Chain A
Amino acid sequence: MLAYLIRRLFAAAVMLVVIILVVFCIFFLVPKWAGVDIALNYVGKQAGPDAVEAVRQKLSLDDPVVVQAWEFIKGIFAGRTYASGGDVTNCSAPCFGYSFKTEQAVWPVLTERFPVTLALALGAAVLWLIFGLAAGVLSALKRGTLWDRGAMIVALAGVSLPIYFTGLLSLAIFSYGLGWINGEFVPLEDSLTGWLGGMILPWVTLAFLYAAMYARITRATMMEILGEDYIRTARAKGLREPVVIRKHAMRSTLTPLLTMLGMDLGALMGGAILTETTFSLPGLGQKVLDAIQNQDLPFILGVTLITSLAVLIANLVVDVLYAVIDPRVRLA
């Protein structure tokens, strides 16, 4: 088990380095090939050639990509100083780059925005797991009945309706129409109930989409598992049907869902852009949208790396959980 864990950690570390290199290539090399001057982009179109050259030096854009990537990685651990002549900008320890558009280091912005995104994703995940699994299992057990068909139609709707539609609809009904919920975001430090009030609609909206997907997968997996020989064995032992479902069928159903959950949570760490924009949540997603519009490369780079890291960690956790659930994995 420990060897398995170490192997996985090692693989994750290697993967991270590869990701940084690839991302670097995409963000710095591709524009170069395409004939776009990154430095020009930083200083704005009106700036003179001197200013462009200064930025180029400051960002060491003339260095080979590998060196730039190395500088970047070093910056994450040791901090980094951007200098061009007398113009010196400091970016302290976990330096994920410095945005010259907004004149801010990327990391503090990430840390400021990240908790909102995390809260959104985790809260929604709890909701979608509860409702998705419950609906999926019930559908599988009552297949062919009215309940099954109803649930699957709702699930189909959930999968196909875009977030900005369901989000705006829920805002229109519950916030503007009925006035039950204050649709504004309130920081947690200010008021717990206010925060909850602000988060509940985003949670439900996001969870609706995912719950629908999870319900469909759960139903399909559950139906398959219920046909397995070992379920028949469990019944032949004289187990009560609820125990058969809970102890024997559910555990097997969980494995594919776990994989999905890891990927989904990881991906959401980069910001649930649509949800956050629809509900004006100050999460990463909104900031990403701004950054893309402003062509703020360092920030996009930072967010991309953070997201990759989150996906990696989520996968690592899933792998470990997998090994806990399925003893056969430990051998591989």
Chain B
Amino acid sequence: MSDEAKAKAEDEAVTIPAQSDGSAGTATLTEGAARGETLLKVTGLQKHFPIKKGLLQRQVGAVRAVDGIDFEVRSGETLGVVGESGCGKSTMGRLITRLLEPTAGKVEFEGKDITHLGVGGMRPLRRDVQMIFQDPYSSLNPRHTIGTIVSAPFKLQGVEPEGGIKKEVQRLLSVVGLNPEHYNRYPHEFSGGQRQRIGIARALALNPKLVVADEPVSALDVSIQAQVVNLLDDLQQELGLTYVIIAHDLSVVRHVSDRIAVMYLGKIMELADRDLLYKSPMHPYTKALMSAVPIPDPARKAAKSERILLKGDVPSPISPPSGCRFHTRCWKATQICATTEPPLKELRPGQQVACHHPENFEDQAPQDVVLLSDAKEAAELVAEDALAESARTSAAVAAEVEAAETEAAQAEAPEAEGDTEAAEKAAESGKRSTESAKPTPESVKTAPEDGEKSTGTPKKSTGDAESTESAESAESADEEPPAKEK
């Protein structure tokens, strides 16, 4: 009850400035959320879709589409969200625009909690938060003219722009690069790219602060994609828009985004500034995802060695893997990955990663060195060069950090330098995980894991042992099924 009252009060608070239009909108933008301030804040956001079965529609489980994510969108920036199908990125988009009701967590827009606002409570916010959809063919009502479609937001919000709705709509059409005289035409008279422009014009009608675009270009032809990407770019520059762009295409996301979130099975795996993410990805999944993108350069045809192939398919979001969700397909996964979920930590300024054994950085769980059997299978599909490089960079970073640490503090930890350090750490951790082995390359111990026998080689000593192994496996890869189906 009190919540409702509160929501109502808040509604009014928002509605009052919303009464004045247009120019006032930009005014709030400058005063309310200056560039760089947090516009949208998401904490612990969850969305579980219940699965019901039987006559009585009992709930037998849930699709955990979004399963606890935190991020912020700052005013004026573009946050890109990438991931494979089923990773929850579209659900996330619908949650932050409140087209869906979150199961748990909190969504704050300009400091105001909008998590559980009802339709009425959301109405004033609909001006500020707009969405662009993937399919330009089905997101426009075929029976309405372009004029009607683009002017609908004005009518719904009861806003009368200066000079009348028609004039404003025609201005919007020319802003997105359409002929204003097409006001009375119907969607079927336009091509896919033009329809997407209409969708953008509609989204921009009320001068929104945040535009959430779900796969805005993936249904378009290559040459048209570029037109729309450029249009989004220009509009951001001119209107100071903030974007959340959801897409599966990593090259498009890199092109448009300032920061990028990589999602996998309802979780954010890595959230980083664009250049950091693409130059030195830390999460193995990010790395695999990027290496999988085919490069339009025939000279790299032979450079297959850089590729990291992931084995099998994304597991079901109904029962996601324990611990780190990526551990079933990760070539670096150890015991801790199967049991403990890594938190999303800012390891480097501007780069948050949820991983125990990040690439390009110091290992977060160096005591845990026994690879899971899954990881060994996965490693067989990773190109040798990639493995070697990853080992090199990790070792280099670790050494660097190690050196810095020993210098700074008089180490209470009796760690030796160089290669033996890992060995000691592992030995130390022996009391926790009895199955972890001494990191000599020869030692192959068995580790009970899910009732399965799994052999482990020490992680740090990738050098010779690992590369010969992957050389062998390269031959046997043909017979070896690359995936483990459930």
Contact = CB atoms under 8 A, between A and B. Distances in A.
- The short answer to whether A and B are in direct contact, CB under 8 Å, is yes
Interface of A: 7, 10-11, 14
4 contacts: A7-B54, A10-B55, A11-B55, A14-B55
A10 B54 CA distance: 11
CB-CB nearest 4 A-B residue pairs: A11-B55, A14-B55, A10-B55, A7-B54
Nearest to B53: A332
Contacts of A14: 55
Contacts of B55: 10-11, 14
Nearest to B55: A11
B interface, over-half SS: loop
A30 B54 CA distance: 33
Contacts of B54: 7
A312 to B, nearest CB: 15
| Size class of the contact patch on chain B | under 10
B118 to A, nearest CB: 33
B57 to A, nearest CB: 13
A14 B55 CA distance: 10
A7 B56 CA distance: 12
Contacts of A11: 55
B419 to A, nearest CB: 54
Nearest to A11: B55
A14 B54 CA distance: 13
A7 B54 CA distance: 8
A253 B150 CA distance: 42
B7 to A, nearest CB: 39
A15 to B, nearest CB: 10
A260 B54 CA distance: 25
A58 B86 CA distance: 66
Nearest to A14: B55
A3 to B, nearest CB: 11
A121 to B, nearest CB: 31
A194 to B, nearest CB: 50
B406 to A, nearest CB: 59
A27 to B, nearest CB: 27
Interface in B39-73: 54-55
Contacts of A10: 55
A10 B55 CA distance: 10
A11 B54 CA distance: 10
A10 to B, nearest CB: 8
A11 B55 CA distance: 8
A64 to B, nearest CB: 27
A330 B54 CA distance: 13
A214 to B, nearest CB: 32
A105 B55 CA distance: 36
B428 to A, nearest CB: 50
A150 B300 CA distance: 62
B316 to A, nearest CB: 14
B349 to A, nearest CB: 49
Nearest to A10: B55
A40 to B, nearest CB: 41
A11 B57 CA distance: 13
A7 B55 CA distance: 9
B137 to A, nearest CB: 18
B352 to A, nearest CB: 39
A7 to B, nearest CB: 8
Contacts of A7: 54
Nearest to B54: A7
A323 to B, nearest CB: 17
B379 to A, nearest CB: 35
A265 B54 CA distance: 28
Nearest to A332: B53
A96 to B, nearest CB: 27
A135 to B, nearest CB: 34
B169 to A, nearest CB: 38
A9 to B, nearest CB: 12
B105 to A, nearest CB: 32
A14 to B, nearest CB: 7
A8 to B, nearest CB: 11
A196 to B, nearest CB: 45
B192 to A, nearest CB: 21
A14 B56 CA distance: 12
A116 B55 CA distance: 37
Interface in B361-399: none
A83 B54 CA distance: 44
A15 B378 CA distance: 52
A203 B274 CA distance: 75
A293 B55 CA distance: 40
